[in-house]
Amino acid sequence: MKNIKIIGLVFLALLLFTIPAKAADVKIAFANLQKALNECEAGKKAKDTLADEAKKLEDELSAKQEELKKMKDEIDKKGKVWNAETKAAKEKAFKEKSQDFQKKFVQYGEDLNKRKQEIESNIIQGLRDTVEEIAKKKGYTYVFEKSVGGLLYAPAEADLTNDVIKAFNSKKK
């Protein structure tokens, strides 16, 4: 019975001494993927592309809005001299174009937002792959995301963000 207690204590002592040794092997870092998305070349290019697309859609909508304004002005000015059929036809055409404009406005916004999400999602996935590669290469056990808000403090030397941006940019060239 005494031998079992001694063996148990020896086993417990060995276990306690090996736990700190394993804990010392843990290496932790973090990366700010939102910052990396905004500062990497692919992210900058995507932002410019999306801005160009938004400008084209805005120009198209502005032209349609101007056309609607002219139709409305024409109805207001000439509507009193038109016969009932002409006035009704012009008002119907204006109403249809106005509804079409509203639908396009909403659709363009949704399409642009969907496109932005797709582009950013692809870049973020590439950044995550890059983080994994760096973590494996540098021997990190865990790499946390800073921009999500879960990381309250970490030393600056544990920040992999700039390394991720450089590695991601070099992979994309």
Domain ranges for the chain, please list them: 24-172
171 versus 47: the higher-pLDDT residue is 47
Residues in the chain: 173
Query: 142-145 and 28-31 as β-strands: parallel, antiparallel, unpaired?
Result: parallel
Q: What is the mean pLDDT of residues 102-108?
A: 94
Q: How far apart are CA 53 and CA 36, in angstroms?
A: 23
Q: What is the mean pLDDT of residues 140-155?
A: 83
Does the pLDDT at position 33 exceed 90?
A: yes
Burial 21-56 (b: 16+ CB within 10 A, else e): eeeeeeeebbbbbbbbbebbebbeebeeebeeeeee
Does the pLDDT at position 20 exceed 60?
A: no
28 close to 144: Cβ distance less than 8 angstroms: yes
Q: What is the mean pLDDT of residues 112-116?
A: 95
Q: Return the minimum-mean-pLDDT range out of 19-23, 114-118, 142-146, 157-161.
A: 19-23
Record: fold of 24-172: Protein Binding, DinI Protein; Chain A (3.30.910)
Instruction: Provide the pLDDT confidence category of residue 22 given band limits of 50, 70 and 90.
Output: low
Rg of the chain in Å (alpha carbons): 31
101 versus 24: the higher-pLDDT residue is 101
Q: What is the value of pTM for the model shown?
A: 0.72
Burial of 68 (0-12, 13-18, 19+ CB in 10 A): middle
